[in-house]
Amino acid sequence: MAKVVRVHELGAPDVLRFEEMDVGAPGAGEVRIRVEAVGLNRSEAMFRAGRYPVQPQLPTLIGYEACGIIEALGDGVEGFAPGERVCVLPRFRLGTYGVWAQQAIVPASCLEPAPPGLSPAQAASVWMQYLTAFAIIEVAQAGIGDHVIIRAASSSVGLAAIQLANWAGAVPIAATRTSAKAQALKDQGAAHVVATEEADLVEEVMRITGGKGARIVFDPVGGPYVETLAAAMAERGILFIYGGLSEQATPYPHWHAAFKGLSLRGWVASEIWDHPHRYASAKARILQGLAQGHLKPVIARTFPFEEIAAANAELESNQQVGKVVVTM
């Protein structure tokens, strides 16, 4: 028997319920892992609260990013062995499997060997953040001197984008609501920090860029503020919206887009991992960045498994800088 988390009703973190479950043997194409650590994501919080595009079928398992040790292989699984440490990538639909557990069965197709030199907590927080942030490299082709506005910059994906921008020679501009995290963001590599509730983003970006604006914007929030982001952009810039944390309608900034020739681009990490050639290329670059020290996952705080509700509350407090991780 293993302790697992299931959701029986939608709501705040306190709806998470521990249960004892016989996880059983993996089926064809599956593996069973002993979970060592899980990285928490905003999508899981929205799923648990019933605000995700896919509605849970209750009761449901939850969680889809982890590091663990393989215990058993199902029929047809090749390339992995019991005892191997692996990362679980969120390549399955939330609720179909769940890794917030001491043991979990997951599809072998969502596994990668854990990168060398990383702790289980670090390995549990690599792939979602870097593959999401990789949009600024693969699609926007950020390069030397490009200014990149990174909204929600203190999140794990925001910090990943800062690291990738710096590695590419670009200039990351961290956008955060208040100045409370300004020094922490500078310590994490932000060239500039703009507190959007305390300063005019457009004025600050134009000052920083000498009036040209930012060529790339990377935004997980969406909503009406997209108009402001578009106003801060350079001609022929690209604006990525990779989330809907505002939970408000996102307008199309027509006149800014028209006069500047802007591109607005939806984005999710599955756009990379659903295409083998793109996934192989991005994975190789990310592993290179980890090995050479250009990329390093930032852990804001770790919680023991018994405090997973508190860990979720911490994630949703917006106080952290980096990834919130739960260790088993």
**Per-chain mean pLDDT for the chain:** 97
pLDDT digits (tens, 9 = 90+) for 140-182: 999 999 999 999 999 999 999 999 999 999 999 999 999 999 9
Per-residue model confidence (pLDDT) at position 70: 98
Reduced to 3 states (helix: H, G, I; strand: E, B; else coil), residue 160 is: helix
- Residues 306 and 321: their CA atoms lie apart, in Å, by 22
Grade residue 54 by pLDDT with cuts at 50, 70 and 90: confident
Per-residue model confidence (pLDDT) at position 164: 98
pLDDT digits (tens, 9 = 90+) for 115-142: 999 999 999 999 999 999 999 999 999 9
Per-residue model confidence (pLDDT) at position 282: 98
Per-residue model confidence (pLDDT) at position 47: 95
Tell me phi and psi for residue 293, to 5 degrees: 85, 5
Per-residue model confidence (pLDDT) at position 121: 97
C-alpha distances in Å from residue 217, one per residue of 53, 70, 141, 165? 24, 39, 12, 11
Mean pLDDT of 298-323: 96
Q: Is the peptide bond before 59 cis (omega within 30 degrees of 0)?
A: yes
Please state the pTM of the whole predicted model: 0.96
Grade residue 55 by pLDDT with cuts at 50, 70 and 90: confident
Q: Is residue 207 scored above 90 in pLDDT? A: yes
Grade residue 260 by pLDDT with cuts at 50, 70 and 90: very high
Mean pLDDT of 10-39: 97
pLDDT digits (tens, 9 = 90+) for 58-112: 999 999 999 999 999 999 999 999 999 999 999 999 999 999 999 999 999 999 9
Per-residue model confidence (pLDDT) at position 314: 97
Find the helix packing angle between 308-317 and 42-49, rounded to 10°: 110
pLDDT digits (tens, 9 = 90+) for 209-242: 999 999 999 999 999 999 999 999 999 999 999 9
Per-residue model confidence (pLDDT) at position 295: 98
- Residues 152 and 126: their CA atoms lie apart, in Å, by 18
